[in-house]
């Protein structure tokens, strides 16, 4: 019988018309989708040694694997809170900037004592090797100037295979240019597998 991990692998292979590779992969120690998604080097020659003799099938598998190991970053910026009684003071115009792997996206402007954005920023996909090297930098831009920021490493971000409810996310502490804690922003960060 195929276990839970093997069932996920089998379904993924079937989805990409690669079902006939299940025996070769599981016999070579890749019995689950999780084991395939790890950063193990697959080459055309290695697949041939595993008994996959059809060139077209090998190329199809390598293309699907590249997508499986690629992520899109989704940042749902919900709200901001200051240190004093949880409120932002004054009518300052604020935006949140999110940067990942050299790409920057910004929310619309929010004003008032407690800005609410509820805005989702989606970044283009990057393969796992590239994604692991890039931390997410979030900054609060006040009247056009970056005043506070925080950074989040790749390892801290939830990975999800498909669409999920974003919800409220969690608070990320903001540090000013002087190194003082000045509040937090609530953001839901997700890494979505492109080819899950």
Answering whether pTM is above 0.75, one says no
pLDDT of residue 89 exceeding 60: no
Cβ distance 97 to 138 under 8 Å?
A: yes
Q: Is pLDDT larger for residue 171 or for residue 89?
A: 171
What pLDDT was estimated at residue 88? 62
Task: Convert the pLDDT of each residue in 10-56 to its tens digit.
Answer: 888 998 999 999 888 888 888 888 788 775 778 888 888 888 888 99
User: Could you give the percent of the chain with pLDDT greater than 90?
Assistant: 29
d(CA 175, CA 152): 13
State the burial class of residue 175 (Cβ atoms within 10 Å of its Cβ: 0-12, 13-18, 19+): middle
pLDDT digits (tens, 9 = 90+) for 114-130: 667 889 999 988 887 78
Cα separation, 21 vs 24, in Å, equals 5
Average pLDDT, the chain: 83
Residue 76 in tokens: 């749902």
Q: How far is CA 173 from CA 71, 78, 98, 151, in A?
A: 25, 14, 14, 9
How is residue 143 annotated by DSSP? T
CB atoms within 10 A of CB 195: 18
């Amino acid at each position: 019988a195929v276990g839970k991990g093997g069932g996920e692998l089998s379904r993924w292979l079937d989805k990409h018309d690669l079902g006939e590779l299940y025996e070769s992969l599981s016999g070579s120690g890749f019995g689950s989708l999780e084991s395939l998604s790890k950063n193990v080097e697959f080459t055309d020659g290695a697949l041939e040694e595993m008994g996959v003799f059809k060139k077209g099938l090998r190329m199809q598998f390598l293309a699907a694997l590249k997508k499986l190991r690629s992520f899109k970053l989704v940042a749902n910026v919900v709200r901001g809170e200051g240190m004093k009684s949880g409120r932002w003071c004054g009518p300052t115009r604020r935006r949140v900037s999110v940067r990942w792997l050299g790409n920057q996206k910004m929310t619309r402007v929010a004003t008032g004592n407690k800005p609410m954005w509820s805005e989702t920023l989606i970044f283009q996909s990057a393969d796992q090797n590239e994604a692991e090297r890039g931390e997410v930098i979030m900054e609060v831009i006040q009247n056009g100037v970056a005043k506070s920021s925080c950074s989040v490493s790749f390892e801290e971000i939830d990975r999800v295979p498909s669409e999920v409810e974003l919800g409220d996310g969690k608070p990320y502490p903001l540090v000013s240019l002087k190194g003082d804690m000045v509040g937090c922003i609530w953001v839901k960060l997700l890494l979505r597998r492109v080819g899950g």
